């Protein structure tokens, strides 16, 4: 399978707020998500992406994130092959938290990575 060149984003260039036109897709497993995630991120575990692609807006600016950047790179390549224009977040949640960006739990508490 051909490798698709996916743009990489340093965490400093990723927006802090997300909505309909800008989506942060967190592809980590549920236990990782529950420990902590970026506020406003959408959670679709890596293994669920093929079945749930209909939930991902192909016209949105799509940032893909995991723990360090490996799984999100693979998901981003998959999405790119299927007509999306994803951007992989280099360093993932480790870089996000390391940059002092907020990490929350589902109930709004302070999360961890």
Contacts of 19 (CB under 8 A, 6+ apart): 40
Q: Is residue 22 part of a domain?
A: yes
Known catalytic residues? 66
pLDDT, tens only, 62-103? 999 999 999 999 999 999 999 999 999 999 999 999 999 999
Q: Is residue 44 part of a domain?
A: yes
Alpha carbon distance 112, 71 (integer Å): 19
Distance linking the first and last C-alpha atoms of the chain:
32
Q: Is residue 67 part of a domain?
A: yes
Residue with tokens 């575990």: 45
pLDDT surpasses 90 at 6: yes
Q: Is residue 89 part of a domain?
A: yes
Q: Is residue 90 part of a domain?
A: yes
Contacts of 31 (CB under 8 A, 6+ apart): none
Which residues constitute the domain of residue 57? Answer: 8-98
CATH (domain of 49): 3.40.250.10
Q: Is residue 112 part of a domain?
A: no
pLDDT score of 77: 97
Give the chain's domain count.
1
Of 29, 79, 36, which is closest to residue 59 (Cα–Cα)?
79
Q: Is residue 85 part of a domain?
A: yes
Q: Is residue 45 part of a domain?
A: yes
């Amino acid at each position: 399978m051909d490798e698709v060149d996916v743009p990489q984003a340093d965490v400093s260039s990723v927006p802090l707020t997300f909505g309909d036109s800008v989506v942060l897709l967190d592809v980590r497993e549920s236990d990782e998500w529950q420990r902590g995630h970026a506020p406003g991120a959408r959670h679709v575990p890596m293994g669920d992406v093929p079945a749930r692609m209909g939930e991902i807006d192909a016209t949105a600016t799509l940032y893909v994130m995991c723990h360090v950047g490996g799984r999100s790179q693979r998901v981003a390549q998959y999405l790119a092959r299927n007509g999306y224009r994803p951007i992989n977040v280099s360093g993932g949640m480790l870089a996000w938290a390391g940059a002092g960006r907020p990490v929350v739990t589902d109930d709004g508490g302070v999360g961890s990575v």
